[in-house]
Chains A and B, each alone.
Chain A
Amino acid sequence: MPPLLKLILMRFGLGALTLFLVSVVVFAATQALPGDTARAILGKDATPQRLELLRQQLGLDKPVPQQYWEWLSGVAQGDLGDSLVQQGMSVTSLLRDRVKNSAALVLIAALVSVPFSIIIGALSAVWRDSKFDMTASVGNLTLAALPEFVIGIGLVLVFATNVFKVLPAVSRLDPSVSMFRQLHLLILPALTLTLAVAPYISRILRASMIEVLESEYVMMARLKGLSNHLVLWRHALPNAIVPTLQVIALNLAWLAGGVVVVEYLFGFPGIGQALVDAVANRDLPMIQALCLLIAGVYVVLNLMADLGTILVSPRLRTGLR
């Protein structure tokens, strides 16, 4: 087998293993806890009949490995069980629209924040210690410190309520209308997410770029008499972006978690809001499905970053000696 293929297959295998272990964690944290799961869900006052019914519905009367196996095989076939709260509705049907909504939100935030922060990071490195760099540094530091709901409320205060009233403070999408007609509802949540991740990416790119700019090969490129343009764009930036890929993936995966607080804040009908509701109502199948989904996004993004790194770094792509 060619070494490159082997490496790629190994990464896939590792991703699959992580995904499997993620499912074990999700299952263990919800269904396999010591104690009476049914009582934990329904509370102290539940009647014996209701408890029995719930045990049957979740299969809690079976041995734990069997419960896990049945749950996992259901997941593999796209059957995530039925919601405990909205009786008779499958989790899949309840989540379908919400996944789309959240995906749109995350995608917008990603498409804005990634290029924006790469540019800021690269320029900060090139103009190191300049006014621009200092300003960007203070901005990054501040934004990176703030919890996302603080950023969100700040934006609401400024743009939706007390200072300017130009944007809606809540983003309840109308499910009967196409999302493209209600894009203005996405602006504040997407902006919150953008501001929350951008500082991380631009900081790491700045650091990586500075390291590259001080490398021997960039010094050599300068001593060869190459133009600044070539030195920066051909010799420095490609090498600086490679180690940043992982961080970008990590932050995009973080967006999937960031939506929890942001959607709750703006009342946005996505998976984050769904998770908060599910936890509040102890809707077990829903919690399992959402956690699995969010962790799955991380695993997939991480895998993509790994493969991306292999493909763009010649040493990994061709070397493997």
Chain B
Amino acid sequence: MSEIRSVTDSELVEPAKVHGARRRSEWVEILHNAWGFNRTRVGVGIFAFILLLAALGPFFAPHSPTEFVAAPFSGPSAGTVLGVDYIGHDVLSRVLWGGRTVLGLAIAATIIGLVLGVSFGLIAGYARRWLDETVMRLLDVLLAFPQIVLVLLLISLLGPKLWLIVLMVGLSHAPRIARVSRAAALEVVQRDFVRAAEALGEIKPRILFFEVLPNITSPLLVEFGLRLTYSIGLIAALSFLGFGLQPPAADWGLMINENRIGITVQPWAVVLPVSLIAILTIGTNLIADGLGRALIGIERESGGPS
């Protein structure tokens, strides 16, 4: 039924590719198409800016982030362009130092979440029946906890150690990513080329890695962008709550928490880190959205009979 329908529908599909001239692989094309959206470019611009700021900032910091330079909450002056914080550190220097942790931890956590989630999702999607049921049911249990609550629960006794936070933020992503990859894998697993490989007697790991996985890379690309956004938010929120980086570390989330009591007298110490986190998450989300739009576009294009 669907076969016949889609043949007719494809009459309306823009002819994306003339015979012969075509891409090598889909995700390259997704990146290419995503670049065509202004929002993606803005997102990439923002992300690159923050990345540079985090990476190179410390080299331009006028003071050490832990040096006492003036009385607490002093406003901007000649030596301290943006004033000092609640304890007398230079705000600008701390801002220039404080991006590394957020970015680094968030990227690490996202990668962990992706690896865990994709593995579970692929296995569940291909195994089906009881193994699928069991894996997904157990992951659903983790899903019952809002991410921040899950992380708090898991670090409550072991204390806010950085490696633990990264691992737990990753783990809290895993069930959500597993759902996405399982759904994508399920659709692929139903296609006949998987049956064909099975009929030839191809071994299961090869089927998972060479037949199924290459067909779900594109949604995973989008998922990575999305999860990175949430990782940044989560990690910054943990620092904000006092369970992430500990003083005297320079970290944007921590800075907000430390200085919010002085928000009226020395707003820079709060406004600057808040704005940087805000534009960073907006940037990564713009990239994720651009990728998502490109993905939908490509599915439409090759949406002929399939």
Direct contact of A and B (CB under 8 A): yes
Identify the stretch in A72-80, A82-90, A178-186, A257-265 within 8 Å (CB) of chain B at 4 or more residues: A257-265
B71 interface residue per 8 A CB criterion: no
A313 interface residue per 8 A CB criterion: no
**Are B149 and A153 neighbours in the complex by a CB distance under 8 Å?**
no
Tell me the chain A residues, 250-303 only, with Cβ under 8 Å from chain B.
253-254, 256-258, 260-261, 264-265, 275-276, 278-280, 282, 284, 287, 290-291, 294-295, 298-299, 302
B202 interface residue per 8 A CB criterion: no
Cα distance A146–B237 when bound, in Å?
A: 11
State which size class the interface on B falls in. Answer: 35 or more
Cα distance A253–B155 when bound, in Å?
A: 21
Complex partner residue of A295 from B144, B148, B229, B236, CB under 8 angstroms: B144
Closest to B260 in A: A153
Complex partner residue of B274 from A21, A26, A153, CB under 8 angstroms: A153
Q: In the complex, what's the smallest C-beta–C-beta distance from A13 to chain B, in angstroms?
A: 12
Residues of A within 8 A of B140 (CB): 18
Cα distance A147–B276 when bound, in Å?
A: 12
B278 interface residue per 8 A CB criterion: yes
Question: 6 closest pairs, A vs B, by CB?
Answer: A257-B146, A147-B233, A145-B285, A295-B144, A145-B281, A21-B141
Taken residue by residue from 257 to 301, chain B's Cβ proximity to chain A (1 for < 8 Å, 0 otherwise) reads as: 000100110010011001001100110111001000000000000
Closest to A165 in B: B264
State the B residues within 8 Å of A (CB): 39, 137-138, 140-149, 152-158, 229, 232-234, 236-237, 240-243, 256, 260, 263-264, 267, 270-271, 274, 277-278, 281-282, 284-286, 289
**Are A40 and B274 neighbours in the complex by a CB distance under 8 Å?**
no
Complex partner residue of A264 from B144, B146, B241, B271, CB under 8 angstroms: B241
Tell me the chain A residues, 226-262 only, with Cβ under 8 Å from chain B.
253-254, 256-258, 260-261
Identify the stretch in A63-71, A92-100, A154-162 within 8 Å (CB) of chain B at 4 or more residues: A154-162
**Are A256 and B146 neighbours in the complex by a CB distance under 8 Å?**
yes
Complex partner residue of A40 from B153, B157, B289, CB under 8 angstroms: B157
Of A25, A145, A150, A290, chain B has the most CB atoms within 10 Å of the CB of A145
B contact face: mostly helix, strand, loop, or mixed? helix
Cα distance A170–B162 when bound, in Å?
A: 30
**Are A294 and B146 neighbours in the complex by a CB distance under 8 Å?**
yes
Cα distance A254–B75 when bound, in Å?
A: 39
Complex partner residue of B145 from A33, A146, A153, A291, CB under 8 angstroms: A291
State which size class the interface on A falls in. Answer: 35 or more
Cα distance A264–B257 when bound, in Å?
A: 10
Closest to A216 in B: B5
**Are B149 and A145 neighbours in the complex by a CB distance under 8 Å?**
no
Q: In the complex, what's the smallest C-beta–C-beta distance from B184 to chain A, in angstroms?
A: 16
Cα distance A302–B145 when bound, in Å?
A: 12
Cα distance A280–B156 when bound, in Å?
A: 8
Cα distance A18–B152 when bound, in Å?
A: 20
**Are A18 and B141 neighbours in the complex by a CB distance under 8 Å?**
yes
**Are A257 and B264 neighbours in the complex by a CB distance under 8 Å?**
no
Residues of A within 8 A of B149 (CB): 257, 260, 275, 290-291, 294-295
A29 interface residue per 8 A CB criterion: yes
Cα distance A265–B236 when bound, in Å?
A: 13
Q: In the complex, what's the smallest C-beta–C-beta distance from A289 to chain B, in angstroms?
A: 12
Cα distance A17–B141 when bound, in Å?
A: 9
**Are A145 and B229 neighbours in the complex by a CB distance under 8 Å?**
yes
**Are A279 and B284 neighbours in the complex by a CB distance under 8 Å?**
no
Cα distance A73–B187 when bound, in Å?
A: 43
Cα distance A141–B287 when bound, in Å?
A: 11
**Are A146 and B282 neighbours in the complex by a CB distance under 8 Å?**
yes
Residues of B within 8 A of A161 (CB): 263-264, 267
**Are B267 and A253 neighbours in the complex by a CB distance under 8 Å?**
no
Cα distance A161–B149 when bound, in Å?
A: 29
**Are B267 and A162 neighbours in the complex by a CB distance under 8 Å?**
yes
Cα distance A30–B243 when bound, in Å?
A: 17
Q: A18-B141, A261-B241, A275-B149 are in contact. Are A141 and B267 (CB under 8 A)?
A: no
